[in-house]
Structure 1
Amino acid sequence: MTLGNTIGCSFVGVVAAAALYGVSCVQTWFYFNRYGTTDIWYIKALVLICLGFDTIHQALISHTVYWYCVTNFNNPDALSMLVWSILLEVLFNGLIGLIVQSFLIMRVWRLSNRNLVLTIFAGSLVLAEFGCSVVFTVQSMKLKTWKDLEQLKPLSMTVNVLGAMSDFVIALALVFYLRRSRTGFRKSDMMISKLIVFSVSTGLLTTLCAIASLVSIVLWGDTLIYVAFYFSLGRLYFNSVLATLNARKDLLADDPDDITFSLQTISKVVPRKLSSPQQQRTISIKIQTTREVDGGGKHSERSCHSAQEVDS
């Protein structure tokens, strides 16, 4: 492994991750400024925990670059050695992914009207990815050199494959069940279309990043090119869920007074079939249609959308 590959790729990865960390901080501030007094406690806890893990991860990868570029400046022998911080960061990347993907699976669970098979399948992929991240961290901490780390290459590839698969399955499930929720009302269908586009775009970023990291490991396994992508993976997970939370008022309504919608507690968006009271969860969309008749016998229709909170 050459000097340029070690320092250059890791430095690029840290700079990109630092830029995304700044975006995470801004989005977190925006979230609490806009939704801090209205959102349920576990959503706010999710944001704070992810921000904490994101901060620790940034500190770890910054330490990695500092150790190679400053502490061991002009010391070529150090380039062949593993520093503990670049190994431990894998665990915190995995923790962020676990929390964010679990949150998305909860949305799939509610949208699919408690589809147990789909939820277990998606959850198994997420848990397997996190389990491989933990095993990789534990095993790698026992190693001393980059040459030794090559024996864990299959495990590193497995983490990226499982990550890409879980992101794809979650995004596909969200799109499928959102499309089934179309009602025929223009504003409701427009809202659902926006949700579909947003679900695809946010899931696509993390999937592409995981695939890019995987391809880099396969093609240039003796370099740290994959690090430039993997360092940013946790940031993309966190920013995707922050973007979803922060865009609720703007994304889901042309006129905020017409419709109020909450992504974190959605159960079904105007179900096609009537469900029993036991099947309704937390938030439902109620559509009322009023018909007005004037003196000439002509009539017009208008629809009113509202969000209603329902106890389980």
Structure 2
Amino acid sequence: MSDVQAHLVVDNTMGAAFIGVIIAACLYGVSCVQTWYYFNQYQTDVWYIKSLVAIVWLFDSVHQALISHTVYYYVVTNFSNPTEQENLVWSILLEVLFNGFIGFLVQSFLTMRVWRLGNENVALTAVITCLVLTEFGCSVAFTIQSMKLSTWADLTHMRGLSMTVNVVGAISDVLIAASLFYFLHRSRTGFKQSDTMISKLILFSVSTGLMTSVCAVASLISILIWGKTLIYVAFYFSLGRLYSNSVLATLNARKSIRGLSEAGDMGDLTLSLNTFKTGLPRFATTVPRQTNISIKIDTTQECVRDDIGGGLDSALTEKSEKSFKDSEEGVHAICVNTAV
């Protein structure tokens, strides 16, 4: 590569990197607020969910520091040193590893949701797990190999590995989102408020995979069209932040989704990430899909005295659109278990 081409690569890279750092910094601010909100509002969550949020935020912070150091090193420290700008700085290589860590943690969490929602579907979970591990392995391999390089021109020879990371990441995100959509959609009960709640869950699940997939595809397209400029870093810098914000938004939305039940007359709705198996209703004739959202519809019983015959008639009035009769107890109830 000639000196002119090398300078062109550096200039385009730094321009894209600067834009990427600004966007990532804005998203990092959002993730900090969401993290604070989570620990303030969900203090009773199980330890592994709290640990996931804490570790993701920590890796987010390290990643933001690394990409900020990269841009500062080239744009400020070595602004008038074109020779040094042609060389790779360690921080832009190490950030790939932390981006991979964030993606691995979030995708593993979502894979566990697919496992529970799909009634422990081994085949589907195995495919998703292989994709997640492949993406993480490629990120680690990219970091190790790139640490041996010294110039931006050398880094362009690793296009294949960069494309693999983005392709596998996009496929795994789409597959996770599609699986969650399918399993949640088939859990609809026919009750207006419970279906509204499930629609909210579907929205969060699809948006989780959609944002990260679009960013990964944009990064891939940038590699294919502008392979010598490394413009793809503008998208790749923000990828980890999208992962962290999407999972935090899903966790923090639980109270608002639970409020869909509390605002109405449907009784008690429980949405829990750590409750996966509950008892089956006695009126069930078939084994329903296991879930981890439990909806209980409380009913009222009216006793009307017949003054003419002197008898006592019992009428069961239900506050929902459908009814199920329990001949022994005179109580109408539906239990839907939906995994989150």
Describe the superposition over 1:204-250 as per-residue Cα deviations: whole angstroms up to 9, x where unpaired.
Answer: 10010000000001100111311110000000000000000001111
User: Aligned-pair distance for 1:184?
Assistant: 1.8
What CA distance in whole angstroms lies between the structure 2 residues aligned with 1:89 and 1:305? Answer: 52
What CA distance in whole angstroms lies between the structure 1 residues aligned with 2:51 and 2:335? Answer: 24
Partner of 2:299: helix, strand, or coil? strand
Q: 1:172 to 1:301 in 2, by over 3 A?
A: same
User: Aligned-pair distance for 1:251?
Assistant: 2.7
> Among 16, 26, 30, which residue is 2:33 paired with?
26
The answer to whether the 8 A contact 2:271-2:293 is kept is no
Q: 1:293 to 1:307 in 2, by over 3 A?
A: closer
TM-score, normalised to structure 2, is: 0.82
Match of 2:328 in 1: none
Q: 1:151 to 1:176 in 2, by over 3 A?
A: same
User: Aligned-pair distance for 1:65?
Assistant: 0.6
TM-score, normalised to structure 1, is: 0.89
| Paired amino acid for 1:24 | S
Match of 2:274 in 1: 265
Unmatched tracts of structure 1, length 5 or more: none
Greater shift, 173-182 or 295-304, is seen at 295-304
What CA distance in whole angstroms lies between the structure 2 residues aligned with 1:224 and 1:206? Answer: 19
Match of 1:12 in 2: 19
> Among 185, 189, 194, which residue is 2:200 paired with?
194
| Paired amino acid for 1:27 | Q
User: Aligned-pair distance for 1:300?
Assistant: 3.0
Describe the superposition over 1:130-182 as per-residue Cα deviations: whole angstroms up to 9, x where unpaired.
Answer: 00000000000000111111221000000000000000000000010011111
| Paired amino acid for 2:229 | T
User: Aligned-pair distance for 1:294?
Assistant: 6.0
Indicate yes or no: 2:318 matched with 1:301: yes
What CA distance in whole angstroms lies between the structure 2 residues aligned with 1:129 and 1:56? Answer: 20
What CA distance in whole angstroms lies between the structure 2 residues aligned with 1:288 and 1:236? Answer: 37
What CA distance in whole angstroms lies between the structure 2 residues aligned with 1:202 and 1:269? Answer: 27
Cα-Cα RMSD: 2.7
The answer to whether the 8 A contact 1:95-1:130 is kept is yes
Match of 1:79 in 2: 85
Q: 1:78 to 1:260 in 2, by over 3 A?
A: farther
User: Aligned-pair distance for 1:261?
Assistant: 3.4
What CA distance in whole angstroms lies between the structure 2 residues aligned with 1:206 and 1:154? Answer: 20
Describe the superposition over 1:92-144 as per-residue Cα deviations: whole angstroms up to 9, x where unpaired.
Answer: 00000000000001111111110011110101100000000000000000001
The answer to whether the 8 A contact 1:209-1:229 is kept is yes
| Paired amino acid for 1:5 | N
Partner of 2:317: helix, strand, or coil? strand
Partner of 1:225: helix, strand, or coil? coil
Identity %: 58
Q: 1:12 to 1:306 in 2, by over 3 A?
A: farther
* Correspondence 1:21-60 to 2 at 5 A: 21-36=28-43, 38-60=44-66
The answer to whether the 8 A contact 2:269-2:296 is kept is no
Describe the superposition over 1:183-211 as per-residue Cα deviations: whole angstroms up to 9, x where unpaired.
Answer: 12222111111111221122110010000
Equivalent residues, number: 305
Q: 1:177 to 1:268 in 2, by over 3 A?
A: farther
Q: 1:182 to 1:205 in 2, by over 3 A?
A: same
Choose between structure 1 and 2: higher helix proportion: 1
Q: 1:215 to 1:291 in 2, by over 3 A?
A: same
Match of 1:214 in 2: 220
Indicate yes or no: 2:237 matched with 1:231: yes
Match of 1:287 in 2: 296
Q: 1:236 to 1:115 in 2, by over 3 A?
A: same
Partner of 2:296: helix, strand, or coil? strand
User: Aligned-pair distance for 1:255?
Assistant: 4.2
User: Aligned-pair distance for 1:268?
Assistant: 7.4
Greater shift, 9-18 or 186-195, is seen at 186-195
The answer to whether the 8 A contact 2:117-2:290 is kept is no
User: Aligned-pair distance for 1:284?
Assistant: 5.1
The answer to whether the 8 A contact 2:194-2:261 is kept is no
> Among 124, 141, 146, which residue is 1:135 paired with?
141
